[in-house]
Chain A
Amino acid sequence: MGENDLEIEIENIVASATLGRPIDLSKISKALKSVNFNRKQFPGLVYKLDKPKTAALIFGSGKLVCTGAKSVEDSIKAIKTTVNKIREVDPDIPEDYEIKIQNIVASANLSKPLNLDEIAMTLENTEYEPEQFPGLVYRLDKPKVVLLLFGSGKVVCTGARDPKDAKLGVKKTKERLKELNLI
């Protein structure tokens, strides 16, 4: 029957934005508080915000990366908040700029224990090295995502740029496991 029980939980979203104008990172690092900036260590300025609990990496080129959001809305909100902070120090930042979701990490539960040894032998495109990591790596082509399958039945899906693909990835994985009687 229509098992719509796949409750996928988004755990992390990576998004990027292009402001189209160079940014003076030194100026920003002096003006903002929760900032870390070591040019020699990493070219980006690390800015952590509390509202949507996220971290942003701001680059001199005018591009930024936002990580840690648990929803697309929060990710966009975090970027806008960050850009507004940059504006307080550096006006002339355009009103319109591109925001792109780059990666979504989601978790799910198949609610059934998994025999990873069997899955590794039967399922295609897998990597399973329990000596190095307890999860089995399964690469899907159709939604181009990567899943980590655990003996507990818990699953992690990463690589999706749209929440729908993360859900589809888990759904197809579940179906494939059923097809192969590996449920």
Chain B
Amino acid sequence: RLRKWQRKIRISGATERNLAFALSELDRIASRLNLPRTVRETASVIYRDAVKKKLIRGRSIEEVVAAALYAACRKCNVPRTLDEIAEVSGVKKKGVGRTYRFLARKLNIRLPPTSPIDYVPRFASELGLSGKVQSKAIEIIKKAMKKGLTSGRGPTGVAAAALYIASVLLRERRTQREIAEVAGITEVTIRNRYRELTSKLNLGVTF
């Protein structure tokens, strides 16, 4: 039937338009976050899978795009926080997190929580810290993980505190404020974390 045919054309036209819009959004956000192509490609695969499984119902395209990017970042070990994704996507942090959990469940994406270690290179380079400081920070983080000092704590806070301690130990000190700003957390959080790390790990220094 002609009418049925026209309907299909209309629907697939809308579907293609939506996909084009989604992919351009994905690219726009990825550019603003300086994400490498591999992450963009991973995110677009996740988005297309979501479309195939009709998981967009009841959700906005922006939300799914943001969640797909967040998942891709984690999968590629190029972490970006929910706050960063939310800020440039215009989607509320709560919505990105909720949609991410939904996609992860429906697409059987099981990603381990982001390790604080994954944030070290990015934060360190933004702070102009040497590779020695980075290695020291990673060493501290590994000790913390073995002693159960990272369970339930935000990965960025742990990474920031470890970098703070390492920067002091190796005489490349950055202020709490500088580190807090690149890590996107507050100075109080850095203080709470480094106090815990220095008191429970034998780092040989008392602040």
> Given A130-B152, A150-B152: A117 and B112 within 8 A (CB)?
yes
**Alpha-carbon separation in the docked complex, A121 to B151 (Å):** 13
User: Interface residues of B, CB < 8 Å — how many?
Assistant: 16
Asked whether, in the complex, the Cβ of A113 is within 8 Å of the Cβ of B153, the reply is: no
Asked whether, in the complex, the Cβ of B152 is within 8 Å of the Cβ of A131, the reply is: no
Asked whether, in the complex, the Cβ of B82 is within 8 Å of the Cβ of A132, the reply is: yes
Q: Does B42 contact A (CB under 8 A)?
A: no
Asked whether, in the complex, the Cβ of A131 is within 8 Å of the Cβ of B113, the reply is: yes
How far, in Å, is B4 (CB) from chain A's closest CB?
43
List residues 137-159 of chain B with CB under 8 A from any CB of chain A: 145, 148, 150-156
> Given A115-B148, A116-B151, A117-B151: A131 and B82 within 8 A (CB)?
yes
Q: Does B189 contact A (CB under 8 A)?
A: no
Q: Does B176 contact A (CB under 8 A)?
A: no
Q: Indicate which residue in A113, A131, A151 contacts B154 across the interface (CB closer than 8 Å).
A: A131
How far, in Å, is A27 (CB) from chain B's closest CB?
39
B interface SS class: loop
How far, in Å, is A155 (CB) from chain B's closest CB?
13
Find the A residue at minimum CB distance from B153. A130
Q: Does A128 contact B (CB under 8 A)?
A: yes
How far, in Å, is B120 (CB) from chain A's closest CB?
16
List B contacts of A113 (CB < 8 A).
Answer: 148, 151
User: Interface residues of A, CB < 8 Å — how many?
Assistant: 17
Asked whether, in the complex, the Cβ of A115 is within 8 Å of the Cβ of B82, the reply is: no
List residues 119-177 of chain A with CB under 8 A from any CB of chain B: 120-121, 127-132, 134-135, 150-151
Q: Does B97 contact A (CB under 8 A)?
A: yes
Q: Does A93 contact B (CB under 8 A)?
A: no
List residues 99-116 of chain B with CB under 8 A from any CB of chain A: 101, 112-114
List A contacts of B82 (CB < 8 A).
Answer: 131-132
Q: Does B81 contact A (CB under 8 A)?
A: yes
Q: Does A114 contact B (CB under 8 A)?
A: yes
> Given A117-B112, A120-B112, A134-B153: A129 and B148 within 8 A (CB)?
no
Asked whether, in the complex, the Cβ of B101 is within 8 Å of the Cβ of A117, the reply is: no
How far, in Å, is A127 (CB) from chain B's closest CB?
6
List B contacts of A135 (CB < 8 A).
Answer: 152
Q: Beta-carbon contacts of B160-194 to A below 8 Å, as 1s and 0s?
A: 00000000000000000000000000000000000
Find the B residue at minimum CB distance from A119. B151
List A contacts of B145 (CB < 8 A).
Answer: 117
Find the A residue at minimum CB distance from B113. A130
Asked whether, in the complex, the Cβ of A114 is within 8 Å of the Cβ of B97, the reply is: no
Asked whether, in the complex, the Cβ of B148 is within 8 Å of the Cβ of A130, the reply is: no
Residue of A113, A117, A130, A131 contacting most chain B CB atoms (<10 Å): A131
**Alpha-carbon separation in the docked complex, A52 to B207 (Å):** 48
List residues 71-103 of chain B with CB under 8 A from any CB of chain A: 81-82, 97, 101
How far, in Å, is B201 (CB) from chain A's closest CB?
15
List B contacts of A131 (CB < 8 A).
Answer: 81-82, 113-114, 154-156
Instruction: List residues of chain B with CB under 8 Å of any chain A CB.
Output: 81-82, 97, 101, 112-114, 145, 148, 150-156
11 CB-based A-B contacts, threshold 8 Å: A113-B151, A117-B112, A120-B113, A130-B113, A130-B153, A130-B155, A131-B114, A131-B155, A131-B156, A135-B152, A151-B152
Given contacts A117-B151, A130-B153, A132-B82, 4 further A-B contacts (CB under 8 A): A115-B148, A129-B113, A131-B81, A151-B152
